[in-house]
Amino acid sequence: MTTINVGLLGLGTVGSGVAKIMIEEADLLSQKLGHNLRLAKVCVRNLSSRRNFSPPTEILTTEPGEVVGQPDIPVVVELMGGLEPARTLVLQALSAGQHVVTANKALLAVHGREIFQKAAETGREIKFEAAVAGAIPVIRILKEGLTANRIQSVFGILNGTTNHILTRMTKDAMTFQAALAEAQQSGYAEADPTNDVEGFDAAHKLVLLTALSYGVLPQVSDFHVEGVTRLEPEDFTAAAEFGYVIKLLAVSTLDQADGRLEIRLHPTMLPAKSLMAGVNGVMNAVMIRGHASGDIFLSGAGAGMMPTASAVMGDIIETSRDLRAGSAPQVPALGWKNLQSWSVKPQQEIRLSYFLRFTVIDKPGVLSAISGILGRHDISIAQAIQKSFEPARGGVTLIILTHKAREMDLQAALAEAEKLDALTAPTRLIRVENQI
Ligand code: HSE
């Protein structure tokens, strides 16, 4: 039986999972594939680190050159994370004629153009199923099963840490700080959670979903990214009263009217009865709307040693099948020959419904002053509720749900409202998504 060698760069959580499957499931894989996959070399930073799974010591090395550039290792799996030396090693591997599998979303979101270009030049594969939504095979579905579709929208819950925190805030009325501390204690959040809670991790994944869906590779700086750190328990209570839940939602959608892309990642109110609203805890989900397929909804584990390793293994297996067939990559990395140049709509021009939570002094004329400001900025009120006095915020809560309005107008109205003496605390704004 043919044997295909695989080299691994990095033996952290996901790398250990990949090594474990390759070694423990070797027979099963051979039976399913009709060829052997052999873990030939694993490059680690420190030979004596404690690991979740320890491969035989004779295949460990601290020298990346024992994996990258080795002619008898046609598949290199990059699971080191970070931008460097991952970028350099991936480019070197592609240049040396090796195929690359990676789970590194930040690397591809930041250096994707250079890396995809190199893969195209060298005719090698760069696969990245594990970079988006962990175990969910969404990349393959976008690249293959849905190829015939004009993708209209992609929505996602792409970060397990924040989804866990928001679930606790929804179900147990916890503050953000308490939910984060609990997530850290349970191992669902990192000691430095910035990348997750500020939305950068999900934004990197959204870049990749956008590239696959529309052939456009945006930069994170091209779109609005807002994390979950400013959400308060009152936002969740009010959302429930209006029939919504709050999720950190990634959105990439084509505005049919003007042909521009709307890309955004921010806390979003979703109808409580939507499938996406029921995705709780560390789970991820992606909904793809194709012109022919209609809505496809996928959900599964977005992180963790074995779920992510499952996705990496899918890429290794697919690459090994192409190698065995002696063919060039059957499906190019992005599924688009050349990246398209459609433009991304500035957030200021996007039209959405908004949830606004004002805290005001309870006296005659305040509601009329606020509604007057909204009206002058062309913002129509869909619903309004006034709540009782909240000592912590020094006023009564006034919640307004708007019809669709331009973000630019909404921001101008809020800036004007902030000048009213009647406001006793900063106004909270959460965007609403009803198309899901
Ligand atoms: N930290 C990520 C999450 C997983 O919480 O979903 C890796 O992207």
Tens digits of per-residue pLDDT, 20-34?
999 999 999 999 999
Phi, psi dihedrals of residue 217, rounded to the nearest 5°: -110, 90
Q: Which two tokens stand for residue 202?
A: 């999900």
> In the annotation, is 205 catalytic?
yes
Choosing from 41, 127, 205, 345, the catalytic residue is 205
**Can you tell me which atom of ligand 1 is nearest the CA of 188?**
5
Distance of CA 301 from the midpoint of ligand 1 (Å)? 10
* Measured CA distances, 383 to 229, 326, 367, 415, 431 (Å): 26, 62, 13, 21, 15
Non-local (6+) Cβ contacts of 39 within 8 A are 6, 8, 19, 22, 23, 55, 59
Q: Which two tokens stand for residue 169?
A: 């805030």
Q: What is the pLDDT of residues 8-18, one digit of tens each?
A: 999 999 999 99
Question: Considering only CA atoms, which residue is closest to atom 7 of ligand 1?
Answer: 303
**Can you tell me which atom of ligand 1 is nearest the CA of 164?**
5
Distance of CA 134 from the midpoint of ligand 1 (Å)? 8
Contact 225, 199 (CB under 8 A): yes
13 CB near ligand 1 (under 6 Å): no
Order the strands of the 3-9 sheet from edge to edge. 60-61, 36-43, 3-9, 75-78, 99-102, 126-127
pLDDT value for 330: 67
Ligand 1: which of 159, 162, 198, 205 to mutate, judged by most atoms within 8 Å of the beta carbon?
159
Q: What residue ranges define each of the domains in the chain, with the CATH number in brackets? A: 3-134+305-335 (3.40.50.720), 138-301 (3.30.360.10), 348-432 (3.30.70.260)
Distance of CA 181 from the midpoint of ligand 1 (Å)? 16
pLDDT value for 390: 74
Each of the 436 residues of the chain gets a pLDDT tens digit; together they read 999 999 999 999 999 999 999 999 999 999 999 999 999 999 999 999 999 999 999 999 999 999 999 999 999 999 999 999 999 999 999 999 999 999 999 999 999 999 999 998 999 999 999 999 999 999 999 999 999 999 999 999 999 999 999 999 999 999 999 999 999 999 899 999 999 999 999 999 999 999 999 998 899 999 999 999 999 999 999 999 999 999 999 999 998 888 899 999 999 999 999 999 999 999 999 999 999 999 999 999 999 999 999 999 999 999 999 999 887 666 677 767 667 777 999 999 999 999 999 999 988 999 999 999 999 999 999 999 998 777 777 789 999 999 999 999 999 999 999 999 999 989 999 999 999 9
pLDDT value for 327: 74
Share of the chain above pLDDT 90, in %: 89
Strands (DSSP E) along 141-235, which ranges? 151-157, 224-225
Helices (H), 230-365: 233-241, 305-325
